[in-house]
Amino acid sequence: MAENEFTQIAGADGQHRTYCRLCEAQCGLVVEVRDGQIEKIGPDRDHPVSEGHVCIKGTSFAAVTCDPDRVLTPLKRVGGPGEFTSVSWEEALDDIAERLQAIVDRHGGAAIGSYKGNPASFATLHSTYGALFLKALGGFKNFNAVQIDTGAKNLAQELVFGSGTDWTFPDIENADMLIMIGANPLVSHMSLIAEPRFLQKLDRIAASEGVVVIDPRRTETAHRYEHVPVMPDSDAWLVGAMIHHLFEAGLEDRDVLEARSSGWEQLREALKPLTPELAESRCGVSADTIRSLAERFARTPKAACYGRVGTNRGRFGTLVNLLIESLNVVAGKFGRDGGWITGLAPIGKAGERPLHPRYGSMRSRIGDLPLVLGSTPGGSLAAEITTPGEGQMRALFVDSGNPVLAYPDGEALSEALEQLDLLVGIDFYINETTRHAHYVLPSLTFLEREDITDYWVRNAPRPWVQFSTAVIEPQGEARHEFDIYNAILARMGLPALFSDPEARSNEAPGLMEVADRMLRIGPFGDQFGENPDGLTIEKLRGEHPSGARTAERFEPEDSWSRVWTDDAKAQLWHEVTQAEIARLLGETDKQEDKLLLFGRRKLGSLNSWMHNVERLVRNEAPTLMMHPDDAAARGFFDGQAVRISTPTGSVEALLEVTDEVVPGAVCYPHGFGHKGGWQRANDLPGVNINLIASSRPEDWEQVSGNVHVDGFPVSVEAA
């Protein structure tokens, strides 16, 4: 086959259309393959939504798939952390199944846990079958990134709209104004919004009524648009005061409030004391700015207020997110063209109440907190292992994740992991977590597997769906996670994933068979023939190799049909709202000599795991950013070595004196401080900033269980 011809045969010479599974933009890619190996990765200009957009991470991905440090055979631990020897799949799987069986027999399924990291959300049904695997063993400890990423937002959506998984997001395709709190899309490429061409969209909004970026740092995004600097961990004051002012000025949308919401009067009363003047004293944004922002927002018909990770990890994450959802309702932006909307997942039946465990239906063993979406707080991972008693965790699967770098107090977690009877890592790298494993099982990179965009495209202002064949054959002995789990279940005499429970058969339906069924009954599916124009995987593969647009436009109004509260109204008052507003107003204005530490992301990094790619990390040297006033007050200079301390620990960093950050706060990126099986990354400067963040349950945000990694107090001294 000629090199410039398109092909869908894994490993065949020619060009392969696929998509990037690193971030939510999921850009279309064209990969050139020769002699079974990747020659080049470029943009897919035929992709209906990314239209040729890519970033340096996507086009550098061959360096991951072909990384000489990649794990290509099962590894068995033979010494201290990181000391492994290659073994056969048979040996590894037999031993894992046997040990697992012994643990289940002796301690029951509660002793088993599973951690699925961020990349799992980009692989077809991975979170679903990962949870089914655990359930098959009688387990229910599902750890993931929820309580360090989205937990407060999930909970706020559940309380206001009745679903933690029908994400609300701004219709950036049609909005004229966007308020963005704690998000930096110029680096992250947008989160909870799937729109690869976001920059075009934001520029258009900026040229209309404006993009306002509320952030303690003058980020890349803030620099391009309007920046409102704010103290970390103080957004509840700001957003609460905006709602206060809307009511005060009579700018609320009465029609919406009366017909489609409940509890707005209680919210209005509770926020009466939260004046813009009081908010100014707590968040550093002037009362005038708060008032004018609220007025601009209310008076722009097509506007939305969006909060992302920076709103989730403070002491009031749930309240901030409740107030953001509420602000959008009070100002009449929910379910409006160019406003605040929900989307449709292509997979699974639409128009049904989501099945996730309701808030409060389960509680954590550590900290005794109600669980959000049934997910076990990652902050409890170490304590689940070290705390004796019923349900003590003895076995853990870490699949697509790296909690030692991702979660607070990685030191305590590293020590705890060593106490497990069985730790299995499923990854193509030995990372800071899997180096503690008894076995590391090699998985595929996304270029070696088929996938369908099953999850994040539900948050697309211009919805699409794409199926990709595998670009190359699996490297070495790497296997699909789905097959690994099934192989373990088979050895334990348990039915295969997704098989009919009555049949007790080990005959697994293929993963794509399951996905195809779910696509076909989904909102864009062919309904098994009833809707001949609808989609199937076969049709996606044959007719839309670059992806298919599934709807010209969402009907924003339909967002109201996905409100799952009992009365189908937006619920603006809840006991959580009440308690959290009271807690906020009861806060004393502490004037400690502490600086509040918050994080940042870098264009060439992806959380903890793209640091082995030379091209991405060449100039990577994380610094602690500090405002010139704070540096002068301490006699610090640019480039100086400093020690950052908390009661949990201390680390050293290089200081960068810059007025990019607000006075009173310091900024350091997460995901550094490597000691995995990656030669390049281990050489990088930088520390694991989560070593100094607390994982103690009393330090979690007590409503959502989110850990506090943005805006926590630290002291900084000369090193």
* Interface residue list for ligand SF4 (CB under 6 A): 20, 22-23, 25-27, 54-55, 57-58, 189, 196
Strand pairing of 395-399 and 112-116? parallel
Residue nearest ligand SF4, CB atom distance: 58
Q: How many residues bind ligand MGD (CB under 6 A)?
A: 62
Q: Tell me the β-bridge partners of 131.
A: none
Angle, CA of 100, 407 and 691, to the nearest 5° = 120
Considering the rule CB under 6 A, would residue 695 count as an interface residue with ligand MGD?
Answer: no
Cβ atoms 56, 43 nearer than 8 A: no
Binding segment toward Mo ion, per CB under 5 A, in 141-149, 410-418, 470-478, 571-579: 141-149
Q: How far is the CB of 671 from Mo ion (least distance, A)?
A: 11
With CB under 5 to 8 Å by kind, the binding choice for 216 among ligand MGD, Mo ion, ligand SF4, none is ligand MGD
- Asked if residue 384 binds Mo ion (CB under 5 A), the reply is no
We find the least distance from the C-beta atom of residue 134 to ligand MGD, in angstroms, to be 15
75 DSSP β-pair partners: 86, 440
Residues in contact with ligand MGD, shown as a per-residue x/- string from 13 to 52 under the rule CB under 6 A:
----------x-----------------------------
**378 CB-near residues (< 8 Å, 6+ apart):** 115, 143, 144, 145, 146, 147, 148, 403, 406, 407, 707
Rounded to an integer, what distance in angstroms lies between the CA atom of residue 62 and that of residue 19?
A: 13
Restricted to residues 96-125, the positions that interact with ligand MGD (CB under 6 A) are 117-119, 123
Give the interface segment with ligand MGD, choosing from 400-408, 459-467, 515-523, 652-660 (CB under 6 A): 400-408
Output the residue with the shortest Cβ distance to ligand MGD.
310
> 294 is written with which tokens?
């609220």
How many beta carbons lie within 10 A of that of residue 614, not counting itself?
10
Judge contact between 239 and 327, C-beta under 8 A.
yes
We find the least distance from the C-beta atom of residue 118 to Mo ion, in angstroms, to be: 5
Residue nearest to Mo ion (CB): 149
Residue 709 sits in the site that holds ligand MGD (CB under 6 A): yes
> Least CB distance from residue 321 to ligand MGD, whole Å?
12
Query: 27-56 burial, b if ≥16 CB within 10 A, otherwise e?
Result: bbbbbbbeeeebeebebbebbbbbbebbbe
Taking CB under 6 A as the criterion, the residue among 131, 474, 711, 712 binding ligand MGD is: 711
> What character string, x for contact with ligand MGD (CB under 6 A) and - otherwise, covers 203-232?
-----------xxxx-x----------x-x
- Looking at 249-369, list the stretches that DSSP marks H as alpha helix, in order from N- to C-terminal side: 254-260, 264-270, 276-283, 287-299, 317-330
Q: How far is the CB of 235 from ligand SF4 (least distance, A)?
A: 26
Cα–Cα distance measured from residue 538 to residue 516, given in angstroms and rounded to the nearest whole number = 8
Q: Which residues, 6 or more positions from 359, have their beta carbon under 8 angstroms from its beta carbon?
A: 155, 158, 159, 164, 370, 371, 372
How far out from the chain centre does Cα 569 lie?
28
Cβ contact 252:246 at 8 Å: yes
Q: Which residue has the tokens 């200079």?
A: 637
Question: What residues form DSSP beta bridges with 395?
Answer: 112, 422
Question: Dihedral through CA 92, CA 98, CA 100, CA 106, nearest 10?
Answer: -160
Least spacing, CB of residue 679 vs ligand MGD, in Å: 15
Sequence length of the chain is 719
CB of 26 to ligand SF4, least distance (A): 5
Dist. CA 397–CA 410, nearest whole Å: 17
- The distance of closest approach from Cβ of residue 136 to ligand SF4 in the complex, given in angstroms and rounded to an integer, is 32
Nearer Cβ to ligand MGD (182/263): 182
Closest CA to 587 of 141, 338, 352, 279: 279
Alpha carbons 571 and 573: distance in angstroms, whole number? 6
Specify the residue for token string 């809840």.
574
Q: How far is the CB of 516 from ligand SF4 (least distance, A)?
A: 24
Only segment of 38-46, 188-196, 363-371, 453-461 that touches ligand MGD (CB under 6 A): 188-196
Positions 291 through 310 that interact with ligand MGD (CB under 6 A): 308-310
Q: Tokens 């002796």 label which residue?
A: 106
Indicate the residue among 523 and 622 with the shorter CB distance to ligand MGD. 622
The residue among 204, 213, 235, 223 whose CA lies nearest residue 302 is 204
CB of 450 to ligand SF4, least distance (A): 18
Which segment (8-16, 84-92, 149-157, 364-372) binds Mo ion by CB under 5 A? 149-157
Choose among ligand MGD, ligand SF4, Mo ion, none what residue 164 binds, the Cβ cut-off being 5 to 8 Å by kind: none
Residue among 148, 324, 412, 494 that touches ligand MGD (CB under 6 A): 148
Nearer to ligand MGD, 181 or 256 (CB): 181
Q: Report the partner that residue 25 touches, choosing among ligand SF4, Mo ion, ligand MGD, none (CB closer than 5 to 8 A by kind).
A: ligand SF4
Q: How far is the CB of 310 from ligand SF4 (least distance, A)?
A: 19
Return the range that interacts with Mo ion (CB under 5 A); candidates 21-29, 145-153, 201-209, 661-669. 145-153
Task: Decide if residue 149 touches Mo ion (CB under 5 A).
Answer: yes
User: Binding to ligand MGD (CB under 6 A): which residues in 468-507?
Assistant: 481
Q: Which residue, 149 or 325, has its beta carbon nearer to Mo ion?
A: 149
Sheet hosting strand 210-215, strand order edge to edge? 226-229, 210-215, 177-181, 303-307
Q: Tell me if 342 contacts ligand MGD by CB under 6 A.
A: no
252 binds ligand MGD (CB under 6 A): no
Nearest to 157 by CA among 362, 306, 291, 280: 306
CA distances, 578 to each of 129, 371, 569, 572, 629 (Å): 37, 19, 18, 10, 38
State which residue, 257 or 420, has the beta carbon closest to ligand MGD: 420
The conformation of residue 303, written as its DSSP 8-state character, comes to E
Q: Say how far residue 471 (Cα) sits from the centre of its chain.
A: 26
Which is closer to ligand SF4, CB of 220 or CB of 295?
A: 220
Measured CA to CA, the distance from residue 559 to residue 579 in angstroms comes to 28
Stretch that binds ligand MGD, among 330-338, 347-355, 379-387, 427-435 (CB under 6 A): 427-435
φ/ψ of 154, rounded to 5, equals: -55, -45
**Which amino acid type is present at position 564?**
W
| Shortest Cβ 551–Mo ion spacing (Å) | 27
For residue 376, the partner it binds in Mo ion, ligand SF4, ligand MGD, none, with Cβ less than 5 to 8 A by kind, is none
CB of 707 to ligand MGD, least distance (A): 8
670 touching ligand MGD, by CB under 6 A: yes
- Using DSSP, state whether 413 is helix, strand or coil: helix
Residue 448 binds ligand MGD (CB under 6 A) = no
User: Residue 54 touches which of Mo ion, ligand MGD, ligand SF4, none (CB < 5 to 8 A by kind)?
Assistant: ligand SF4
The reply to whether 162 sits near ligand MGD by the rule CB under 6 A is no
Question: Strand 641-645 relative to strand 624-626: parallel, antiparallel, unpaired?
Answer: unpaired
Residue 523 three-state SS = coil
Identify the CA nearest to 228 among candidates 242, 240, 217.
217
In the complex, the residues that contact ligand MGD under the rule CB under 6 A are 23, 117-119, 123, 145, 148-149, 181-185, 187-189, 191, 214-217, 219, 230, 232-233, 235, 308-310, 314, 399-403, 405-406, 426-429, 431, 443, 446, 481, 598-601, 603, 605-609, 670-671, 689-690, 709-711
In the complex, the residues that contact Mo ion under the rule CB under 5 A are 149
